[in-house]
Amino acid sequence: MSSNSTKHKVGLVLIGIGIALLLVASALAYMELLKGVSIPQPPSLESVLYVLAVVTYKVAFIAVIAWAGAMLITRGLQAL
């Protein structure tokens, strides 16, 4: 009985952490959307490549946070 109760509590904690991570990833993505990307004028190849690298880095960072949140939710649901 105690083991079942512990698994249930751990599952709920994992779900809570996963939802929090997904909310953080959504908030970060929304803030980046509002901020936008500025390309200096006139655009040179170096500046375009720099902007592409920054955007790729930000997308990868947000994707990893969202993936971790989704995995925690999945593991939490399996523990219930």
pLDDT tens, position by position, 41-65: 777 888 888 888 988 998 999 999 9
List CB contacts of 9: < 8 A, sequence separation 6 or more.
Answer: none
Q: What is the crossing angle of helices 2-35 and 45-79, to 10°? A: 160
Q: Residue 46: its pLDDT value, please?
A: 85
What is the rounded distance in angstroms from the CA atom of residue 79 to the CA atom of residue 14?
9
Whether the per-residue pLDDT at 37 is higher than 60: the answer is: yes
pTM of the model: 0.77
Whether the per-residue pLDDT at 40 is higher than 70: the answer is: no
Q: Residue 63: its pLDDT value, please?
A: 92
**Nearest partner of 13 among 67, 64, 72, 68, judged by Cα:** 72
